[in-house]
Amino acid sequence: MFRLLLVEDDAILLDVLRQAFTRTGWEVEGVQTVADALAAFERTPPDVVLTDKNLPTAVKSGITTAQAGVELVRTLRQRDSAVGIVMMTGYGTAESARDTLNLGIDEYVEKPFPSLSDVLARLDELANKARERRAALQTPTPSLLDRTLTILVAATGKRQSAILAVLGGHADRVLPIINPDEIKPSAKSEGADVVILDGSSFPEEVTCLVVQIKTRIRSAACVVLSQHLPLADIKRLIELEVRALIEAPVEDERFGDELRHVIKRVRRLPA
């Protein structure tokens, strides 16, 4: 039996969802606040967390209700790299989807659900994946901290030069690619650990390229650089397990800090 932690401040919706998931064989614990969610998570770790984005907060906490769900996801992902996490919201925006993508959620869904049966099927997939992740964590693997990464940089012109300049201080193996047709075979033949895809260089192809890379080498961490992606595209990137979406322009000083942070985060994940 899979375990689900359901976090929803609307008591009626919480009860409806709890009954629906229980009828399909899930063991469900439903809570309405961040504090109760954290306590339940520590008490009995679930396979999947399904949480609302807007949650009540303490008056003196300094964060808004819209930030509460994001902060909950941040905390849970720090505590458990294997658990499946689904963010649900009645007010989906590209900004909130990007923020939660970068925290490592597995799905971003909008309420009301177009199809509850589709959500249930997806939760089953995530529960199985969570258990596979936990099993993998029990198996000793070489730490990414202890070896050189192979990083493919798919970009053109000055944008590629700017990305390479940021990565120049690392002792990693960095391979530039300018032809999108070379990205997929190169990722496989070079055993890429990280593939950085610049959306400005390939604006019509980024999602397709991610699909191709994940088909060839599922373990590769994909990082997408793109500004002003619509919500539907970001949700698709979340489904494809893109590791990070960086929207800062490459000429902005924030870009270097964000990219270095992403590489550091990738290193801490199991090989």
In the structure, how many helices (H) and strands (E) does the chain have? 10, 10
Instruction: Give domain limits for the chain.
Output: 3-137, 144-267
What is the pLDDT at residue 147? 74
What is the pLDDT at residue 234? 92
pTM of the model: 0.84
Residue 196 CB contacts under 8 Å (≥ 6 apart), including other chains: 151, 152, 153, 154, 155, 163, 223, 225, 259
What is the pLDDT at residue 194? 92
What is the per-residue pLDDT across 197-243, written as a single tens digit (0 to 9) for each?
999 999 888 899 999 888 888 888 999 999 888 899 999 999 999 99
Mean pLDDT computed over 246-264: 89
**Interatomic CA distance for residues 6 and 28, integer angstroms:** 7
**Interatomic CA distance for residues 195 and 198, integer angstroms:** 10
Please state which CATH number belongs to domain 144-267. Answer: 3.40.50.2300
Look up residue 120 and give its amino acid. L
At 172, the pLDDT band (50, 70, 90 cuts) reads: confident
Q: What percent of the chain has pLDDT over 70?
A: 92
Give bridge partners of residue 224 from the DSSP assignment.
Answer: 197, 245
Out of 3.40.50.300, 3.50.50.60, 3.30.470.10, 3.40.50.2300, which CATH number does the structure's domain 3-137 have?
Answer: 3.40.50.2300
Mean pLDDT, the chain, as a whole number?
A: 87
What is the pLDDT at residue 253? 85
Residue 215 has φ and ψ, to the nearest 5°, of -70, -40
What is the per-residue pLDDT across 26-83, written as a single tens digit (0 to 9) for each?
999 999 999 999 999 999 999 999 999 888 875 445 566 767 888 899 999 989 989 9
Q: Among 123, 268, 152, which residue's Cα sits nearest to residue 210?
A: 152
At 159, the pLDDT band (50, 70, 90 cuts) reads: very high
- Two domains, one topology: 3-137 and 144-267: yes
At 105, the pLDDT band (50, 70, 90 cuts) reads: very high
Three-state SS at 48? strand
